[in-house]
Amino acid sequence: MSSVKIFSGSSSKYLSEKIASSYGKPLGGIELQKFSDGELSPYFTESIRGHHVFIIQSTFPPADNIMELLLMIDAAKRASAEKVTVVMPYFGYARQDRKDKPRVAIGAKVMANIIEAAGADRVVTCDLHAGQIQGFFNIPVDHMDASAIFVPYLKESISDGTVFASPDVGGTARARRYAKHFQVDMVVCDKHRKKANEIASMQVIGEVEGKDVILFDDLIDTAGTLCTAADILKEKGAKSVRAVITHPVLSGNAYNNISNSALDELITTDTLPLKEKLEKIKVLTVADMFAKAIRKIHDHESISALFI
């Protein structure tokens, strides 16, 4: 059987080092050259002929991260790697998964097309914005679930007074899965948007007075929805409001919004690097989960044991 070699794109090296350490193997050698105009040229500094190559890179802005990933895939294929598996802890452009209005692109499908065209044999990712994005690929996709990280952390703090919530109607399935696992009640925050990142109104469906509320979502961007939900839940009598979010995009005024909101704690993962540190933000690592997935994929074993 071919041996595993793990490489990292420049944007995810902070996480790749932890994944490689958990796996028990150092990161492979790769260098990224840049021309004076910004053009990228990554190259492997060691032989990968006949190896199963895992490339770790989240595709968050700027677009250079995506281009670097595509060039790394192509370089690996041209260097005679036996297989190239792309590990994308955060799959960028996943929010553009359908035509929600006329004459718009389906960005998630474009991403799937170009990753396949570059030569990837498999994709491993975590908590997609919509699970059906897996169907945009014609290659295997392992869709990891961050509940394996969050459930053990939350276990000690769940009580009879805990209520789970979704910050919008679209996330009810996610919150319902957690509520079913812990056997607690659930409420929904119904929001209406004027445009992207701008909320026009929000209502709470369900009873939260005197309850400890935990909000669940796949990602947090400007934190507008989450902070508005936390403020409204506190106004409705919630004793405390925490949030469990997989991907901390945190753009724009997100950090100020979180600091000034009624949110007591934001529990997230390290699929994306934080730009600032806040006392309210608790980061749990996904490194062990991805390291175990890499081992099982290479050994042709089922990864279902990694799911809760």
**pLDDT bracket for residue 294 (50, 70, 90):** very high
Give pLDDT tens digits for 78-115: 999 999 999 999 999 999 999 989 999 999 999 999 99
Note whether 125 and 71 are same-domain residues: yes
Selecting among 191, 211, 234, 292, the annotated active-site residue is 191
Torsion of CA 86, 32, 61, 147, to 10 degrees: 40
- 260 Cβ contact list (under 8 Å, min separation 6): 227
Question: Could you tell me the pTM of the whole model?
Answer: 0.92
Note whether 247 and 203 are same-domain residues: yes
pLDDT of residue 260 exceeding 60, the answer is yes
> What is the 3-state composition of the chain as percent helix, strand, coil, each rounded to the nearest 5?
35, 30, 40
288, 22 contact by CB (below 8 A): yes
59, 92 contact by CB (below 8 A): yes
Note whether 98 and 191 are same-domain residues: no
212, 206 contact by CB (below 8 A): no
Note whether 55 and 162 are same-domain residues: no
Q: Tell me the chain's radius of gyration from C-alpha atoms.
A: 20
Q: Encoding tokens for residue 270? A: 């390290």
Number of domains in the chain: 2
State the pLDDT at residue 308: 78
pLDDT of residue 67 exceeding 90, the answer is yes
Q: By CB neighbour count within 10 A (0-12 exposed, 13-18 middle, 19+ buried), where does 112 fall? A: buried
Q: Provide the domain limits for residue 39.
A: 4-145+287-306
Note whether 51 and 177 are same-domain residues: no
Note whether 211 and 113 are same-domain residues: no
Note whether 61 and 100 are same-domain residues: yes
Give pLDDT tens digits for 177-207: 999 999 999 998 876 655 555 555 678 888 8
State the pLDDT at residue 191: 64
CATH code of 170's domain: 3.40.50.2020
Note whether 91 and 112 are same-domain residues: yes
pLDDT of residue 17 exceeding 60, the answer is yes
Note whether 223 and 292 are same-domain residues: no
Note whether 275 and 293 are same-domain residues: no
Q: Encoding tokens for residue 235? A: 């106004």
Note whether 34 and 163 are same-domain residues: no
Q: Which residues of 28-46 are buried (b: 16+ CB within 10 A; e: fewer)?
A: bebeeeeeeeeebebebee
Note whether 117 and 225 are same-domain residues: no
Q: Coil, helix or strand for 122?
A: strand
Is position 18 annotated as part of the catalytic site?
A: no
Query: What mean pLDDT is predicted for residues 229-242?
Result: 92
Using alpha carbons, select from 190, 187, 246 the residue that is nearest to residue 221: 246
What is the average pLDDT value for the chain, to the nearest integer? 93
Give pLDDT tens digits for 111-148: 999 999 999 999 999 999 999 999 999 999 999 999 99
Q: Coil, helix or strand for 58?
A: coil
